[in-house]
Structure 1
Amino acid sequence: MKQSLKSIFAAASILAVAACNTPTKTNTDDAAAADSTAVVQLDSTKFQKEIDGKKTNLYVLKNKNGMQAAFTNYGGRLVSLLVPDSAGKPVDVVVGFDSVDGFVNSTEPYFGATIGRYGNRIAKGKFTLDGKQYTLATNNGQNTLHGGKKGFQYVVWDAAQPDPQTLVLTYLSKDGEEGYPGNLNVKVTYSLTDDNELKMDYEATTDKKTLCNLTNHAFFNLNGEGSGPILGHLLQIYADQYTPVDTTLIPLGKHADVKGTPFDFTTPETIGKRIEEDNDQLKAGKGYDHNYVLNGTEGLGMTHAATVKGDKSGIVMDIYTQEPGLQFYSGNFMQSKNVFKGGAKDDFRTALALETQHFPDSPNQPGFPSTVLEPGKTYKTSSVYRFSAK
């Protein structure tokens, strides 16, 4: 693009919140305020709260191009991500709230959150390690989802911002938390690179054999928050197979070919084209809520997992990962019960999630890649969300 991102963002008077306790506000003009997809002001004081005896705050990352990502350490959440569209206009491509209270009170607990100890589902909240059965808190019918009743999305992480482009979050998940064994020391580093990438680096160690499967649950709308359904987004997933599920969304333990099914995104296709087809798997998830088995397509020294393009904005998001799977969720359980930053509600299928991960229920599926972490070893994985515009 001829016009730099820095000048674009400056012209739009975008918020630049320092990672400190100084109250800060953005300013938006009347025309922008009238646009439901306009960049919305964030007030850092609304993110300053005490929860479970620990302080929360707002942290903003900026690269040299002027791209910005806002986080709160409550749940390690991505609050906002400003990306230029094909016309150079800044667009907030992540849905979320304008305060910590918004996240605390949301009926959907996972908006933008860092997920752990185990991303996705574990069947009946049980697994066995070395002959011992562990029982977890169940919070998704009979199953455990995203760590349990108080997963990492509900904790206040210790936060440090060593430079304007990096946020480091740490958390000690104590032995027995939500039923998981071992003291798990977790470090997640979010960084905004000068190549317009949001990079996510995860690390963890334990003093007792345990499970670990970390991810981020950002909800994206590449046309902008409040722009309507994501059904017109063009999606390509670099996977020839996926893992079919039962009616409770637990994998059946096998891989199935996507060819000839509504799950085939090996070539670019709009999300909405086949989502209402008469298909038992779509009925189980009320749409797409399935794990894809990535082919291992190379890119950035990682696996190229997916490419998605906003049909209105021209914004393209490429996802790269070291993980074997990608969960595609098409916002099927969004119920218009929460109000986002710009005043729009979380209406049905107005955001999507593409979560890099190990497969759901891996501890109970011997044919799936292992998620066991042992003492003396380090869990380490990275994923990258790269943005451009066409």
Structure 2
Amino acid sequence: MFDISYEFVDKQVNFTKIRLNNKLEIIFSNLGASIFEIKLSDKSSKLENILVSPMKEIWLKDRTFAGSIVGPLAGRYAVNHTQLEKNRPPIHFHGGSNGWDKHLWEQSIIEETNQISLTFSYFHLNYDAYITYTIDSDCNLMMEIDVQPKIEMYINPTNHMYFNLNGSAFLPVTNHLFQIDSNTVFSECNGLIQSPFPDLVPESLDFHTLRSLNLLEQNNGINHTFQFGKNHSGILKHPTNGRQVIFKTTLPSVVIYTFNSQQETFSKNHVLYPIYSGITFETQYPANQLGIVTFTPLHPYYSKTTYNFSVKEDEDVTKNDSY
């Protein structure tokens, strides 16, 4: 049912490929406890990569957060009187200049009849961190993040995958359908969340029902923190090739970003990927709220986010959003 293979870049960095029949194939790396590639079959049994990332040699050299675990603190934070590094002045950003995405993690694997678990471990003076990815026979990918602090510290990690169900990063996700269990979004000022109380989602960001992402071009994309409703879930669909991803999490919010500008490292054969070539689901606590991400030895951090991959029949989508 499962096939496992390994690629060693050097004595330190490796890639682990886990394949489930001809439906799903995922490549992990111990660099950044990352998910580097996910190949998903479509209705015609064509297996294609549904993640957007730089070419491997660029990804290894430049580190772009793509597919990696961002931590200990994902997002943007006002430094104020804390000891947080001001790595993107005047704020702390995505774990600092030596964040988890840049670390080499220890790796172990457990094979069972209907699932495989890959655990990445990182041991620090102030904490022990474990990222466990589990793939089961129903095409579920479960991501569990367990951090055992030895002191009081701030912890708010996430995974920074960009999804694109077209199977090509050169085709934008504006032809996708998206729905999220949220009616509220956090207000921001200068890129920082300002209030612990989110606001009602404006119409242009209202995805509590399934909608086309063709509106991205009219609203300069999405780059917002959404607060989940009771189901803590969302869904991304391709209306013709049948690919579908449903994500569900224990966390209270998610950052949605739709690759709103081209980035020099995201390219293939020196051609840049276009804007809106990917969409992230960065499940996390809302950033810039240090009180709710303070953890201790008696109050450790744990979260679980599950991605279900499937192939569905065509949907007749006639709604064309415009504002």
TM-score by length of 2: 0.88
Q: Please tell me whether the aligned partners of residues 61 and 166 of structure 1 are also in contact (alpha carbons under 8 angstroms).
A: no
Instruction: Tell me which of 94, 102, 116 is aligned to 2:58.
Output: 102
* Counterpart position of 1:149: 97
Q: Please tell me whether the aligned partners of residues 242 and 311 of structure 2 are also in contact (alpha carbons under 8 angstroms).
A: yes
CA positional deviation for 1:239 = 0.3
* Counterpart position of 1:296: 230
1:307 aligns with 2:235: yes
Task: Supply the AA of the counterpart residue of 2:207.
Answer: F
CA positional deviation for 1:115 = 1.3
1:162 aligns with 2:110: yes
Structure 2 Cα separation of the partners of residues 338 and 98 of structure 1: 7
Helix, strand or coil at the partner of 1:103: helix
CA positional deviation for 1:68 = 1.5
Helix, strand or coil at the partner of 2:303: strand
Identical columns (%): 21
1:236 aligns with 2:171: no
* Counterpart position of 2:154: 211
Helix, strand or coil at the partner of 2:225: strand
Q: Please tell me whether the aligned partners of residues 221 and 276 of structure 2 are also in contact (alpha carbons under 8 angstroms).
A: no
Query: For 1:348-367, what aligned pairs fall within 5 Å after superposition?
Result: 348-363=275-290
- Number of paired residues? 309
CA positional deviation for 1:110 = 0.8
TM-score by length of 1: 0.73
The superposition leaves residues 105-141 of structure 1 with CA deviations (integer Å, 9 ceiling, x where unpaired) of: 33x6211001110121212x34xxxxxx422222334
Task: Supply the AA of the counterpart residue of 2:131.
Answer: V
* Counterpart position of 2:10: 49
The superposition leaves residues 334-375 of structure 1 with CA deviations (integer Å, 9 ceiling, x where unpaired) of: 3344335x8863332211111111111111xx6xxx111111
Structure 2 Cα separation of the partners of residues 220 and 98 of structure 1: 15
In terms of fraction of residues, the more strand-rich structure is 2
Helix, strand or coil at the partner of 1:273: helix
* Counterpart position of 1:32: none
Structure 2 Cα separation of the partners of residues 66 and 232 of structure 1: 22
Structure 1 residues 74 and 103: CA distance shift in structure 2, 3 A: same
CA positional deviation for 1:153 = 0.7
Instruction: Tell me which of 299, 310, 322 is aligned to 1:388.
Output: 310
Helix, strand or coil at the partner of 1:70: strand
Q: Please tell me whether the aligned partners of residues 217 and 353 of structure 1 are also in contact (alpha carbons under 8 angstroms).
A: yes
Q: Please tell me whether the aligned partners of residues 22 and 41 of structure 2 are also in contact (alpha carbons under 8 angstroms).
A: no
Q: Please tell me whether the aligned partners of residues 275 and 288 of structure 1 are also in contact (alpha carbons under 8 angstroms).
A: no
Q: Please tell me whether the aligned partners of residues 55 and 266 of structure 2 are also in contact (alpha carbons under 8 angstroms).
A: no
* Counterpart position of 1:287: 221
* Counterpart position of 1:120: 75
1:173 aligns with 2:121: no
Structure 2 Cα separation of the partners of residues 234 and 113 of structure 1: 25
Structure 1 residues 335 and 59: CA distance shift in structure 2, 3 A: same
Instruction: Tell me which of 36, 47, 52 is aligned to 1:79.
Output: 36
Structure 1 residues 344 and 160: CA distance shift in structure 2, 3 A: farther
1:185 aligns with 2:128: yes
Structure 2 Cα separation of the partners of residues 86 and 231 of structure 1: 20
Structure 1 residues 81 and 361: CA distance shift in structure 2, 3 A: same
Structure 1 residues 89 and 274: CA distance shift in structure 2, 3 A: closer
CA positional deviation for 1:264 = 0.5
Structure 1 gaps, min length 5: 1-5, 10-15, 20-43, 127-132, 175-182, 278-285, 298-302
Helix, strand or coil at the partner of 2:59: helix
Structure 2 Cα separation of the partners of residues 140 and 268 of structure 1: 36
Structure 1 Cα separation of the partners of residues 39 and 47 of structure 2: 6
